[in-house]
Amino acid sequence: MTGDTRRPSKLADVARLSGVSTATVSRCLNTPDRVVPATREKVLKAVAELGYAPNFSARALAARQTFTIGAVIPTMENAIFARGIQAFQEELGRLGYTLLIASTSYQESLEEEQIRNLAARGSDGLLLIGHHRSNRVLDFLQGREIPALVAWAHNDGTAALPAIGFDNAGAMAELTREVLARGHRRIGVISAQTAANDRARLRVAGIRATLADVGLGSAALSVIETQYGFDAGGAAFSALMSQEASPTAVMCGNDVLAVGALRAARELGISVPNDVSITGFDDIEIATLVDPPLTTIHVPHGAMGHRAAQMLVQMVTEKRLNMPSVELSTTIVLRATLGPSPGND
């Protein structure tokens, strides 16, 4: 009960009650082994008695460390980021850090503003999504010496920031091989907007490269870029299917677009996978809930968020702006929406 008094107690109160200096109290809390056990116990007792909790603003100002990590993500509205961010936040909490969150609503121009905002608020480190970013932002981060880690992507050595994620192009290439193996030769692609999104870009590139490998040129491919959302995916699917030579397989840049396509197919009376195959990317929970269940690429959301927290905190505590990138592996999950090409039986 003493802890819940009107005025929150401060370091000086603890010092007074335990009969030591504020410096010693501070040491007990931050570097306990630099103080003899007897003193430490005395102080810790006073801390408990007063229900003392440090003022993080003061601590941040004095120590130039906030124990706060900022994340700038497109949106937390969908499962694609929510799961990873949840894991990120959980592990951060375990490590004594709190998550400051900002979103761009998929507006590229907002990212810089949010990064500057989180920096002004003293974020010890920043989690960013993907590598698409201006040099100005990169210079800002470097000038301020703020560790930043990119997630949902991999750094093959060409990117400026260390990354934890997976090989977007490689994963999609592998799935494309599965599609080709089933006889499909006219591929439709529903991609997220690629202009400010390297992940989307790489996924499409993975498809293109694999088609080229087997001698299929751009005539075999029909790509539509669309906004994020179930409805957008559905509309893109309709557009794709109303072409003269419509695709026998539609590969989608993410599960949300794929599920939207699936719903559109049902509405249009197009049978999946008998008339057309559909694939996704992400393996979010909805992939198993739709009927037929979605063939997609499994992404280790939880592990990525978890390790991202560990890596970023390590960068922060070791004051490193760089560190080896880590690539997580993805797996193809064959469910029911991918079947043989209808032209092939």
Partner DNA sequence: CTGAAAGCGCTTACAG
> Distance (Å, rounded) from C-alpha 322 to C-alpha 332?
31
> Distance (Å, rounded) from C-alpha 294 to C-alpha 291?
8
**197 belongs to the binding site for a copy of itself (CB under 8 A):** no
Cis peptide bond N-terminal to 147, omega within 30: no
- Tokens 């941040």, residue located: 60
Residue 22 contact, options a copy of itself, DNA, none, Cβ 5-8 Å cut-off depending on partner type? DNA
The residues near 213 (Cβ < 8 Å, ≥ 6 apart) are none
The correct pick among 79, 159, 211, 313 for binding a copy of itself (CB under 8 A) is: 79
Residue 35 contact, options a copy of itself, DNA, none, Cβ 5-8 Å cut-off depending on partner type? DNA
**61 belongs to the binding site for a copy of itself (CB under 8 A):** yes
83 SS3 class: helix
**268 belongs to the binding site for a copy of itself (CB under 8 A):** no
> Distance (Å, rounded) from C-alpha 279 to C-alpha 287?
10
Least distance between DNA and beta carbon 19 (Å): 7
Question: Which residue, among 159, 94, 74, 89, has the nearest Cα to 308 in the 3D structure?
Answer: 89
Q: Identify residue 50 by its one-letter amino acid code.
A: L
The correct pick among 9, 66, 226, 248 for binding a copy of itself (CB under 8 A) is: 66
In the structure encoding, which two tokens stand for residue 70, read together?
């900022």
Q: With the CA atoms of 121, 125, 128 and 133 taken in that order, what torsion angle do they form, in degrees rounded to the nearest 10?
A: 80
- CB neighbours of residue 300 within 10 Å: 19
- Tokens 């993500």, residue located: 73
Question: Phi first, then psi: what are they for 144, rounded to 5°?
Answer: -85, -5
How many Cα neighbours within 13 Å face the side chain of 54?
17
Question: Contact region for DNA (CB under 7 A) — 19-27, 140-148, 234-242, 336-344?
Answer: 19-27
x/- map, 218-257, a copy of itself, by CB under 8 A: ------------x---------------------------
Residue 343 contact, options a copy of itself, DNA, none, Cβ 5-8 Å cut-off depending on partner type? none
11 vs 299 by CB, closer to DNA: 11
The correct pick among 23, 34, 77, 317 for binding a copy of itself (CB under 8 A) is: 77
**125 belongs to the binding site for a copy of itself (CB under 8 A):** no
Task: Map the footprint of a copy of itself across residues 93-112, applying CB under 8 A.
Answer: 93, 98-103, 105
Least distance between a copy of itself and beta carbon 121 (Å): 4
Task: Map the footprint of DNA across residues 25-84, applying CB under 7 A.
Answer: 25-27, 29-30, 34-36, 38-40, 52, 54-55, 58-59, 61-63, 65
* Strand partners of residue 127: 71, 149
* b/e 126-151 (16+ beta carbons within 10 angstroms → b): bbbbbbbbeeebeeebeeeebbbbbb
In the structure encoding, which two tokens stand for residue 281, read together?
């990317």
CA 64 to chain centre: 27
The correct pick among 213, 289, 317, 344 for binding a copy of itself (CB under 8 A) is: 289
Question: Contact region for a copy of itself (CB under 8 A) — 186-194, 197-205, 237-245, 258-266?
Answer: 258-266
**78 belongs to the binding site for a copy of itself (CB under 8 A):** yes
In the structure encoding, which two tokens stand for residue 145, read together?
């010496």
Footprint of a copy of itself (CB under 8 A): 3-6, 8, 53-58, 60-61, 66, 68, 75-79, 82-83, 85-86, 89-90, 93, 98-103, 105, 114, 116-122, 136, 139-140, 143-144, 230, 259, 262-263, 266, 285-286, 288-291
* List of residues contacting DNA (CB under 7 A): 10-12, 19-27, 29-30, 34-36, 38-40, 52, 54-55, 58-59, 61-63, 65
